[in-house]
Amino acid sequence: MKALFTTFPAYGHLLPMLPLAEAAVAAGDTVLVATHETLHAATRAFGPPLPALLAENESRSGADVLAYRTDSARLLDANVALFTTTYADLAFDELLSLAETERPDVIVGEQWDYLGPLVAARLGIPWVVFVHSPATDIDAVLTAGAAKAGAHRGLTFPTPLATVRLWPEWLETTPPTTTALPISSQPYDAPARADIPAFTGDRPVVLVTLGTVVDDLPLLRSAVQAVLDAGADALVTTGFTATPADLGAVATPDRVRAVSFAPIAQLLDHAHAVLAAVGSGTTLAALSRGLPLALIPKIANQPLVASLVTALGAGLTVDSPASLPTAIPSLLTTPSLREAATTARSRLATRPSPTTVWTTLRSHLR
C-alpha cells in the first residue's frame, strides 16, 4: 500500500505525524511525505516555503498573522486565508499533479492541511485526518474557508475515512464528540544522534525552546537568563532562523548548551523541565516524559494550549518576559507541577502505539 502524508509547511505540523509514517514504513508500506523541501523529512517537495506563503497572504489580506496576540476580525480572515484559500491558490495544482503521478491508496493529512483532503476529493482517494492540537473557536471558520477553496475548484470538502487523535480528549476545553483512533505521543526522534554537548555538575537542566522559527531573540535571551538565575543550566534551541552565536553574552560556556535543532526526544533526554513557546508537539512530548512546563504563548493557538496545560496542573503560563524570574523557580520547585506531569505521562502511555493505529487504518482500507 502507498500512503501520502501531507502537511502545512511548518515543522510543528509535520513532526507529530512522523511516528505514524514510520509505523507504515515498518509495516512494509510505501510512504511519501509531501511538503516544501526546506522541511527535511520531505520525500516529495511541493508548494511554497512558509515565509513565501506568509508574505503572499499578508499581501492579499493586509494583516501579518504573526504580529498579533489578540484576535480581531481582520486577523481571523487572514488566518483562515493562510491555511485555506491562499495556500490552495499557491499549491493545490502542484499537490494534485504529485498525487496523480504517485496514485496513493490513502492521503493522511494533519488537521490544518486543507489541500490534502481537496486533492483526495478530486481523485476519489480516502483521506485520514491527524489531530495533533486541541479544538479551537475558529475551527468551523477554517472548515468554511476550506469549503470555499474547494468550491472554487468544483469540489466538496470530504468526510475523513478516519480520524487519528494525538491530542488527548482530556486536554480539551470541550471533549470531542467525533469518534477517533487515539494514538500515543511519541516524541520525534531520528536514527542519527545529535551533537548535544554534555553538562557538568549536578544542576537541573531546563530545555529552552521557542520552536523552529525564533523571531524574538530578546525573549530567548531573557528566558535563558531566567533559567541561569534560578540556579539551573539551560539547553537551548535557536531554531533555523537563528544560531547559537545569536544568544550573545548570556550563553556562558559552563552553564548553557545551544543547538539550532535536534530531535525533541534527544533534547528531552537531558531535561529536568521545559520552558517553551507552547507548540502542541513540544507540549505533548514533554508531558509524555513527565516533565513540567513553563509556557510562553505568543501566536495562533498557543494561549489555548497554555491554558489547558496550566488547568491540568502540569505547567504554568508566563504572560510576559517580566514574569520569567519568578516563573522559573516555581517551575523547578513546585512538586504539584511534576506530579501532574507524571500523571499525564501515565495517561498518554495507555494510548495505542503508532504501529497499532496503522494496523487499524489498513483494515479500514481493505
Residue 230: give its domain's CATH number. Answer: 3.40.50.2000
pLDDT of residue 256: 93
Q: What is the pLDDT of residue 275?
A: 97
Residues 212, 319, single domain; the answer is yes
Return the percentage of the chain with pLDDT > 90, whole number: 67
Q: Are residues 170 and 305 in the same domain?
A: no
Query: Given this model, what pLDDT does residue 176 score?
Result: 81
**334 with 247, same domain?**
yes
CA distances 313 to 23, 225, 316, Å, are 32, 25, 8
Dihedral sign from CA coordinates of 139, 181, 288, 251? negative
**What pLDDT, on the 0 to 100 scale, is given for residue 334?**
97
Give the confidence band of 68 by pLDDT, cuts at 50, 70, 90: very low
Please check whether residue 192 lies inside any domain of the structure.
no
Say yes or no: 356 and 332 in one domain. Answer: no
Q: What's the whole-number mean pLDDT along residues 1-19?
A: 93
Q: Is residue 190 part of a domain?
A: no
Write down the mean pLDDT value for the chain. Answer: 91
Tens digits of residue pLDDT in 121-158: 999 999 999 999 999 888 889 999 999 999 999 999 99
0.85 surpassed by pTM? yes
Span 178-211, pLDDT tens digits: 889 999 998 988 888 888 888 888 899 999 998 7
> Does the pLDDT at position 214 exceed 70?
no
Quickly state the pLDDT bin for 71 (edges 50, 70, 90).
low
Written as one letter, the residue type at 95 is L
Q: How far is CA 267 from CA 126, 193, 211, 234, 263, in A?
A: 36, 10, 13, 11, 7
> Are 344 and 355 members of one domain?
no
Asked whether the beta carbons of 324 and 222 are under 8 A apart, the reply is yes
Backbone angles phi, psi at 108, to 5 degrees: -110, 120
Do 175 and 83 share a structural domain? yes
The answer on 92 and 79 residing in a single domain is: yes
The domain tally of the chain equals 2
Question: Is the pLDDT reported for residue 69 higher than 50?
Answer: no
Residues 88 and 153 in one domain: yes
- Asked if 319 and 357 sit in the same domain, the reply is no
Same domain membership, residue 89 and residue 115: yes
Burial class (CB in 10 A: 0-12, 13-18, 19+), 45: middle
Residue 226, pLDDT > 70, answer yes
pLDDT at 178: 81
Give kind and range of the element (H or E) at residue 132.
none
**Looking at the domain assignment, is residue 198 inside a domain?**
no
- Residue 189, domain member (yes or no): no
In a domain, 199, yes or no: no
Instruction: Say yes or no: 100 and 145 in one domain.
Output: yes
CA 52 to chain centre: 20
Query: Mean per-residue pLDDT for 288-303?
Result: 91
Evaluate whether residue 79 is within a structural domain.
Answer: yes
Q: Is 357 exposed, middle or buried, given 0-12, 13-18 or 19+ CB atoms closer than 10 A?
A: buried
- Answer whether residue 306 shows pLDDT above 70: yes
Residue 289 domain-assigned (yes or no): yes
Cα–Cα nearest to 347, from 170, 163, 131: 170
Who has greater pLDDT, 346 or 173? Answer: 346
Rounded to the nearest angstrom, the gap between the alpha carbon of residue 275 and the centroid of all alpha carbons in its chain is 16
Count how many residues are written for the chain: 366
Range of the domain at 113: 2-184+351-365
Nearest 5°: the CA angle 284, 37, 266 is 35
The mean per-residue pLDDT over the stretch 212-237 comes to 90
Task: Output the pLDDT for position 67.
Answer: 59
Both 228 and 301 in one domain: the answer is yes
